A and B are shown apart, each in its own frame.
Chain A
Amino acid sequence: MDWKSTEQASMERHAPNHSTSTSSSIHATENTVWADASPLLETVCKELRDGELIHGENFNLYAAMSALEIMDPKMDSGIINKYASVDEAIEDGLAPVPISLDKTVDVQCIIDIIDQLLACEATWHKGHSLAQTVFSCAYLLRPERTLSHALLDSYCKVIRATCKAVNSIVSDARTHEEEDLFTMAYGLPLNVEGDEKCLSLLNAVEENISRQLRACKAPPSKRKLLEDIEPLQNNFDLEEGYCKALLCRIRFRKHFCHVLTCMRRPQGRGLELARKHIASCISELGIILKSEEFLMSNAYGTCEDGTEDRTTASGHQAIGFDASLNSRISAPTPPRSIKILSWKKAIEYFENLLHHLDIICSYLLDPSLDVLLRFVAQFQKAQPDLVARVHLQLLLVQDGKLYGRYPILAVIIRAARLPEVIMRHDIQKNEYVVQLGQIVINMLKILCTNAAWQRRKLGKILQDWRAIYVQLELAFRKEFGEGSSIANGENASAGILKHILIWVEEQTYWIAHRFLVLGFELELYSPSEYCMVYWYLYVVLIRLAEKTHLKMTVSDGSAKQKGKKRKDSPKDLAREARIPPAILFLQCQICLAEGLALLLAALRNELMVLQSPSPFNSEHERFIQHFELLQKACIPDLISYPSFKESTSHARFSSLVMYNYFKDAQKIAKEVKNSFLNDPDRLAELCILEQVAEHNSVAVNVISRVGALDPSLKVSFEFIHHPCFATVVVKRS
């Protein structure tokens, strides 16, 4: 491509625009004047030879990539613009009011608009800009034009109000990278006077249509009495169908609006009521889906084929939409064309969203951090989208308190299993304890973000947790030193700090565990790396179990044993009857992780599979890359690549069969299930772990019997049962 000709083309295109903007929009100030730069540019262009590039100091990759080539259809969305402005589009008849003088057609068109708006809204929620989705509707952009049409006007108002509400909740949550496109709304009429009345207007419209529906369903004898009610449209046979199709759409909107309002009430006070509205929304969505058949069979004019891509129930293209309407106000660069979700997919999206919101609303706002963390992890398994996740985040952290109810220090004290009277102690003024409160809040917010972002941030905050641990430990030593000089030998601060320290360590390992597990969900590990990942997971789980157990032991007052406990391996502990179920739950995973790590190691050592030689580096570098963030935060202490090699280089099938870790895991899962009858999530998890363990136990036996003899044996690791603990699949190729 000839760069010079491109440049000239762009200048020619810009020249007339420049002269108009001089006169109309940007005025010269005291220190500036408008000047025609065309002759200068022309001279410069003549000086440049083909292929030459002006390279300034500040022309970096960012600048290079920000440059757009005018008239290149891949970059310049302006060249496919149909209209120069919204007004031009309206003058051209894009969005007539009323849409048709034929009342039946008018109603049909409004239903199409409503459906298309739903598809646009779902597309917006899924990560596209408001300007290209919902506000591609010209009716929304010119509020004054719809005033004469009660139905259209009230519906446009409720859409704008909903967008405003959702936009504000996402902005408030500040979830970084996801929101940048989402909340970009400048130049769009989101704050229209009168929109706050949308619900009462919509109610009036709903009431009217209900009356029309009753009128058309009334037996002929009574119909006379109702004659003063003007029907919705002219075709009596279709009256009932259209009234119903409109009613379910209007009612869905109404309830959805209420859901958003209820969920934003402080301290979760509106959650119960929100659930009722969520149930209504879901049932109206069902009715909307059922109206499809009626709408398709009576659609006016010619229809698109009943393809899956259609954005309305009727299959007819909605009137009043143009995706490029806002291309001139959509910064920072012209948007590229996007694909609006289909009507069916949009309904599916809203069903999912409502289901996820319902999970949030049914949560009992438990003051225990343990319960909360399990709830959030479970919630995230459903892979909720941004709008559901920000609702959770804003519920969890309000005014620096948990659910806006419990001071964060009270939550920590509870989590560390200290008595609540501690809240009156001076310890809460300790600057590191205050900082700890901040990093707990930070962690809660991170846990509500999408899995990709969440993992990156969790990896980073491990440093903070490590740093606060070190600080608190110093404070503890200081207190303890001072305390021991006191005659009565009691030092409350030191005791409290000790509890908090144990809990901080436990929590740090919990984060590290989640960091490793999310790597599986995000598909960050390749089979040749599974061995080191399971080994690391095993090491982290061991420490997590140790710390959790220590916390329980210390708080139960069995202080005598605590020095010894630390050194006991949880494997031995598991055999003792008094091991708490929560620890056994971890123990089961420890066995699975260890079993998988050693099986993978044995496969490499004996069958020479799953090795990946590289011309550029060794496994050592891969180890550093994967666990760099954990290693930096000393999680765990004294763990490094040589320790991994040491524990895996001698793995053999013969010893794996002798000591079958999977059998242990299976046994523990089976035994401990009874302790979780009241906890359906963990019970379900245990059942899956048991299944994986049983399967893998058999696989180990098969491989050790025939593996070395049969070169055609293929062993693969698949996540068919559990997202993180692989099922070992053995096949003959």
Chain B
Amino acid sequence: MEKAQERERKEEFDASEIEYVSYGGEHHLPLIMNLVDQELSEPYSIFTYRYFVYLWPQLSFLAFHKGKCVGTVVCKMGDHRNSTFRGYIAMLVVNKPYRGRGIATELVTRSIQVMMESGCEEVTLEAEVTNKGALALYGRLVFIREKRLFRYYLNGVDAFRLKLLFPQPELHPFLPMMADRDAAQKHDDHSPASEEFSELHRNL
């Protein structure tokens, strides 16, 4: 499977041909699921997908090339330990022949932008330590590697917890607040603390 994909030739296209759309409803769900199933190691149930796209449709984006879905990002946001309003990037996938052309960066930048405008203080995610592509991408967006999670994934590989801290008003007194925080609070989701979430990944 892996090898077959490697042999697949790179798709020829112009960056302007890629169309980015926000999650638009149920018809997008199978497109997202197919992409993620193909490319990510973790198996997710349909409940996981629905959990994200129904609660935070504004944080999910899809990339299309000539009508074909070639990339997607799925995220959430909410209170973390009742103290920090945090965005979380759950899945980011670009079809192999379309990689290396900035599609993932564009997708994830759009989500982060919305998170920032919604009053998030920080954004986090986990990435396999062996996933050089993802690490380089988030490195360019200056996510820092906050911690390493020992054998985090089901396949036994360690993960990095990556984190991006948005400018804090107390550090930059002249910056206006990014957005009205109360508006964002509507999306509170009673989500478990991130550490619990990591346990979950490991045990599934």
CB proximity to B under 8 Å, residues A443-468: 450-453, 455-456
CB proximity to B under 8 Å, residues A602-624: 612, 614-618, 620-622, 624
A63 to B197, CA, bound (A): 10
Q: How far does the Cβ of B57 sit from chain A's closest Cβ, in whole Å? A: 13
CB proximity to A under 8 Å, residues B29-49: 29-30, 33, 37, 43-48
- Provided the pairs A69-B45, A614-B142 are in contact, do residues A523 and B163 lie with their beta carbons within 8 angstroms? no
B50 contacts partner chain A, Cβ-Cβ < 8 Å = yes
A67 to B46, CA, bound (A): 9
- Provided the pairs A127-B151, A452-B150 are in contact, do residues A64 and B109 lie with their beta carbons within 8 angstroms? no
Q: Which of A54-62, A558-566, A692-700 contacts B (4 or more CB under 8 A)?
A: A54-62
A626 contacts partner chain B, Cβ-Cβ < 8 Å = yes
**Contact partner of B48 among A64, A336, A453, A618, CB < 8 A?**
A64
CB-CB under 8 A from B145, the residues of chain A are 523-526
A65 contacts partner chain B, Cβ-Cβ < 8 Å = yes
Q: Which of B4-12, B61-69, B91-99, B152-160 contacts A (4 or more CB under 8 A)?
A: B152-160
Q: How far does the Cβ of B80 sit from chain A's closest Cβ, in whole Å? A: 12
Residue on B nearest A76 in the bound complex, by CB: B43
CB-CB under 8 A from A529, the residues of chain B are 144
CB-CB under 8 A from B192, the residues of chain A are 60-62
Residue on A nearest B112 in the bound complex, by CB: A616
Let me know if B144 and A626 touch, CB within 8 A. yes
Chain B interface, >50% SS class: mixed
Let me know if A617 and B45 touch, CB within 8 A. no
A531 to B112, CA, bound (A): 27
CB-CB under 8 A from B204, the residues of chain A are 65-66, 333
Q: How far does the Cβ of B52 sit from chain A's closest Cβ, in whole Å? A: 8
Interface residue tally on B, bucketed by range: 35 or more
Q: How far does the Cβ of A565 sit from chain B's closest Cβ, in whole Å? A: 36
Q: How far does the Cβ of B170 sit from chain A's closest Cβ, in whole Å? A: 11
B196 contacts partner chain A, Cβ-Cβ < 8 Å = yes
Let me know if B46 and A3 touch, CB within 8 A. yes
A533 to B204, CA, bound (A): 36
Let me know if A51 and B167 touch, CB within 8 A. no
- Provided the pairs A60-B189, A62-B196, A453-B150 are in contact, do residues A53 and B163 lie with their beta carbons within 8 angstroms? no
A626 to B160, CA, bound (A): 14
A127 to B150, CA, bound (A): 10
Among B29, B30, B45, B196, the most chain A Cβ lie within 10 Å of the Cβ of B45
CB-CB under 8 A from A33, the residues of chain B are none
- Provided the pairs A53-B54, A178-B150, A620-B171 are in contact, do residues A62 and B144 lie with their beta carbons within 8 angstroms? no
Residue on B nearest A614 in the bound complex, by CB: B142
Residue on B nearest A641 in the bound complex, by CB: B171
10 contacts between A and B (CB under 8 A): A53-B50, A69-B45, A75-B43, A453-B150, A524-B146, A524-B160, A526-B144, A616-B112, A622-B142, A622-B144
Where the two chains meet, the residues of B that have a C-beta atom closer than 8 Å to any C-beta of A are 26, 29-30, 33, 37, 43-48, 50-51, 54, 76, 109, 112, 116, 129, 139-142, 144-151, 154, 156, 158, 160, 163-168, 171, 189-192, 196-197, 199-204
Since A75-B45, A526-B144 are in contact, a sample of 7 more A-B pairs with Cβ atoms closer than 8 Å, ordered by chain A residue number, is: A1-B33, A53-B54, A69-B46, A177-B202, A332-B203, A524-B145, A524-B146
